[in-house]
Amino acid sequence: MTSPLLDVAGVAISPDHYIGGRRVASAASFALQSPIDQRLLGHVGEASAGEVDAAIRAAQAAFPAWAGLSAAERQPMLNRFADEIGKRADDFCVVESNDAGVLLSRMRHGVVPRAMLNIRWFAEHALTLQDRTITTEQATHHVRHDPAGVVAIITPWNAPLMLATWKIGPALAAGNTVILKAPEWAPLTSSLLADCADAAGLPPGVFNLLQGTGANTGAALVSDPRLARISFTGSVPTAKWIAQAAGANLVPCSLELGGKSPFIVLEDADLDNAAATGALMYRNAGQVCLAGTRFLVHEKIVDRYVDALRGYVGQLKVGDPRDEATEVGPIVHPRQVERVMGFINRAVVGGAQLLWGGKPHPFGAQYVEPTMLANLNQTDEIVQNEVFGPVLTLQTFADDDEAITLANGTDFGLGGVCYGETAHATEVAGQVRTGFIWVNSFGIRDLAAPFGGIKRSGIGREGGDWSFEFFCDVKDVVVPAKPFRASFSHR
């Protein structure tokens, strides 16, 4: 028996899991509140160990037939999946904005088109994996990318639709079957994805959805030895726990974790351009792992740069994310608000200087003012740890060596930004220890390029061939160049 549908801004959403091509209700559930105004959106099922087992069994049963298809045979079905996302674009925009507080403008103009592309691009790119050979004098090596099996995908609350499709696309295109564990603070667009998979005609069990908390549903899922892969995006503490559970079963993990990325402004930077880009770090209330949150500015230009940045920040509209003009929306959950304000308050007590912000925003209970803190030491908590809110820090440097030392002076290494004369900025960027870094730009992404971090920012790379290297078992079929005959020598 299924549960009554939720009504979120006129969009009907199932609160149940999607297992083996049908909706499955749970005995237990948990409440969802909108970060915009704390109104109750409804109750969503929490998967028990039994429902986790059912999802794994459904994915296992579907795997042989799905894996047995060629990439060309899977492609039309995956393209229909993308089509169904496009048909419900408005629903995805409205629901994720209400559920996660994501900017409606970002959903409409960025996230939904990217979600469709994530499915289509990897379905197309999978075709290139079929004919790879390495020829030597001794043999021809036919390199195969075989589907690994049942894949668990666990996504965070800050970008539920985009990050789910970013992982689902290559996993399904490679021939795996998928169990998506939705983020507990923002699960509703994951449920819409299940509707789209069903409408596209994906065979039952190829795509499955579980909803629930990490402590219960997530724990039962990642500790199961029947999984072939686990792909996780989220926090470092959760990643350590997942890796430990998966390690007991030798299940490979891809871990894309947090960041404390530098935003470097060199003495020869275009200050106005760097300031305009700097203000973008507050978008989505700073709940973006890619954001450059540690501003490192040359001491000779810091006053002029701060004035320019202040001007752009002052133009940002804080408000309801459903208003397309809004640029800074709410923080996703009251616990996250408490965490963000805790970082700010402890920094101020410790001697940090508030250049602007630092208080709850009057628009609503889960809003925090765009904040900039200065007068900091490299060892300060707020410099070293990810805040994941609209909070930036400012430090100065005297030369390139000091800038690089400061940039590399945390345990994180996800991304970064470097503004300056192009050759100069490129040279400095090359010495920053990070998975990627933008020169005189921000947010440029290409699905063919690698994405991921170093140090505490993660293990592995996603995108292009790197996604398939993870989601596939790579096999070498060796055919000798001339007849082979075994020989034995006896002493």
pLDDT tens per residue, range 11-43: 999 999 999 999 999 999 999 999 999 999 999
Share of the chain above pLDDT 90, in %: 97
pLDDT the model gives residue 209: 98
Beta strands in 29-164 (DSSP E): 29-33, 40-45, 132-135, 139-147, 150-154
**Location of structure tokens 């499915």:** 119
Cβ(45)–Cβ(53) below 8 Å: no
Q: Any residues with CB less than 8 A from the CB of 318 and at least 6 apart, and which?
A: 326, 327, 328, 329, 361, 363, 367, 369, 370
Domain over 261-439 is classified CATH 3.40.1390.10: no
DSSP codes joined into one string, 153-193 = EE--SSSHHHHHHHHHHHHHHTT-EEEEE--TTS-HHHHHH
CA 364/CA 329 separation, integer angstroms: 10
Closest CA to 123 of 85, 89, 158: 85
272 pLDDT exceeds 90? yes
491 pLDDT exceeds 60? no
Closest CA to 289 of 456, 427, 446, 449: 456
The residue extents of the domains of the chain are 6-257+457-477, 261-439
Q: What is the pLDDT of residues 376-404, one digit of tens each?
A: 999 999 999 999 999 999 999 999 999 99
What is the pTM assigned to this prediction? 0.96
* Residues labelled as active-site residues: 256, 289
Beta strands in 375-471 (DSSP E): 391-397, 412-413, 417-419, 438-439, 454-455, 458-459
Identity of residue 62: A
Sign, CA dihedral 111-411-383-298, equals negative
Q: What is the DSSP letter of 69?
A: S
Backbone phi, psi, residue 230, to 5°: -130, 125
CA 261/CA 289 separation, integer angstroms: 9
Closest CA to 416 of 280, 275, 290, 250: 290
DSSP codes joined into one string, 288-325 = -TT-EEEEEEETTTHHHHHHHHHHHHHTPPBS-TTSTT
| Mean pLDDT calculated for residue range 435-449 | 96
| Mean pLDDT calculated for residue range 271-299 | 97
488 pLDDT exceeds 80? no
CA 339/CA 224 separation, integer angstroms: 32
pLDDT the model gives residue 458: 95
Q: Superfamily assignment of 6-257+457-477 in CATH?
A: Aldehyde Dehydrogenase; Chain A, domain 1 (3.40.605.10)
Beta strands in 197-336 (DSSP E): 207-210, 229-233, 253-256, 261-265, 292-298
Determine the angle formed by the axes of helices 400-407 and 422-429, rounding to 10 degrees.
40
349, burial (CB in 10 Å: exposed 0-12, middle 13-18, buried 19+): exposed
Closest CA to 451 of 466, 462, 467: 462
**What token pair was written down for 110?**
């960025």
CA distances from 200 to 62, 79, 121 (A): 16, 8, 17
Cβ(27)–Cβ(50) below 8 Å: no
pLDDT the model gives residue 489: 67
CA 179/CA 421 separation, integer angstroms: 46
**What token pair was written down for 473?**
């078992």
Q: Any residues with CB less than 8 A from the CB of 211 and at least 6 apart, and which?
A: 15, 16, 17, 44, 45, 46, 47, 181, 182, 184, 187, 190, 191, 217
pLDDT the model gives residue 490: 58
Buried/exposed code over 462-481 (b: 16+ C-beta within 10 A; e: otherwise): bbbbbbbbbbbeeeeeeeee
Q: What is the pLDDT of residues 345-364, one digit of tens each?
A: 999 999 999 999 999 999 99
Q: What is the pLDDT of residues 121-170, one digit of tens each?
A: 999 999 988 778 999 999 999 999 999 999 999 999 999 999 999 999 99
Closest CA to 53 of 290, 260, 226, 267: 226
CA 151/CA 149 separation, integer angstroms: 6
**What token pair was written down for 195?**
């509707």
Identity of residue 301: I
